[in-house]
A = this chain, B = another copy of it.
Amino acid sequence: MFTSEYLRELTDKAIASLGGTPEAEKLFEPVRYIMSIGGKRLRPVMCLLSCNIFRDKIDEAVMPAVGIEVFHNFTLIHDDIIDKAEVRRGSPTVHAKWGPDQAVLSGDVMAFVAVECIGQAPEKTLPKALKLFNRTAIEVCSGQQLDLDYEKKGVVSEAEYLRMIELKTAVLVAASLKMGAIIGDASEKDQDLLYEFGRCLGIAFQIQDDVLDTYGDTKMFGKKTGSDIVANKKTYLLVKALEMAGGNRLTRLRKLLGPGNNDPETKVREVRAIYDELDIRLKAENLAYDYFNRAFQALDQVSVNAERKNELKQLAVNLIGRVK
């Protein structure tokens, strides 16, 4: 069995070997840049760990795993244009560095570099791997659309929020794991269980991320806490607070979200106070733990020796560890 650390290095090596066409050098500069400024390579590592559950030889899964990482970074470039984000992983975003036109075009080419990597799946698994990847990519775009729609919408229900993060974030984690299982020749049932493991894990992570943005330790979390509140981002916390608050409290909350609240620190403090009054943090953490539990239940049912699932389980547990 391979360790996550080894698979991360393997992924990095494969990413470094991706060639650009020397004819259009400028097209690939932003591609190399976004792929090099970090990221935990979580999705490819999960893909490879999932494959490794079913077979010892995982070489054939490396390029498809890289394809998923390239796709993920493609969405980051285009999302950052749309969100007008200037900083990503502590570095300037692609459109901040090269302008939005270049960011559109270099993102586009990454979409096809990603498919090219997926296309290197073994021939007998290619139809299924490609179908999974395409369906997932279309779902991720749909999730980003819902996110944009919801920013403009007054009331978003908890169910709508959960479906949005499922599409925008969780299905790609799920597809990474299922991709590994497909290439690892797992049974249909095991493929689906790993998909469910990833789907629940992805939803749990996103809820956890929402909690950390408001309650996390800035140093540990690596980004300034409260940024979601300042931006009126429809996080789980805000959606839930808007659903639960009534009377005076709702009026206070709506006023805080309205225009004219120019002091971010006051806004963060006061919105957080409302969350605290409503016990929102606990509700969010409980929901995240529910999803973590569902994830592990799915993994437990995968029909191989518990030992073979250890590394994947450990990786997920370490990620939960962030919340504490």
Contacts and interface: CB of A to CB of B under 8 A. Distances in A.
A55 B138 CA distance: 33
A23 to B, nearest CB: 6
A155 interface: no
A78 B108 contact: yes
A26 interface: yes
Contacts of A323: none
A297 interface: no
A177 B115 CA distance: 21
A31 to B, nearest CB: 10
Interface string A53-73: 000000000000000000000
Nearest to A83: B101
Interface string A113-140: 1011001000100110011001101110
Chain A residues touching B, range: 35 or more
Contact of A27 (B100, B104, B134, B141): B141
Interface stretch (A143-151, A185-193, A302-310): A143-151
Nearest to A121: B127
B82 A27 contact: no
Given A24-B142, A27-B142, A101-B82, A111 B108 contact: yes
Contacts of A167: 23-24
A81 interface: yes
Contacts of A102: 148
A109 interface: yes
Contact of A24 (B105, B108, B135, B146): B146
Contact of A134 (B21, B82, B115, B141): B115
Given A82-B105, A111-B111, A145-B27, A138 B116 contact: yes
A146 B163 CA distance: 41
A112 interface: yes
A109 B138 contact: yes
6 contacts: A23-B167, A78-B108, A109-B141, A115-B115, A116-B134, A126-B127
Interface of A: 21, 23-24, 26-27, 78, 81-82, 100-102, 104-105, 107-109, 111-113, 115-116, 119, 123, 126-127, 130-131, 134-135, 137-139, 141-146, 148-149, 163, 167
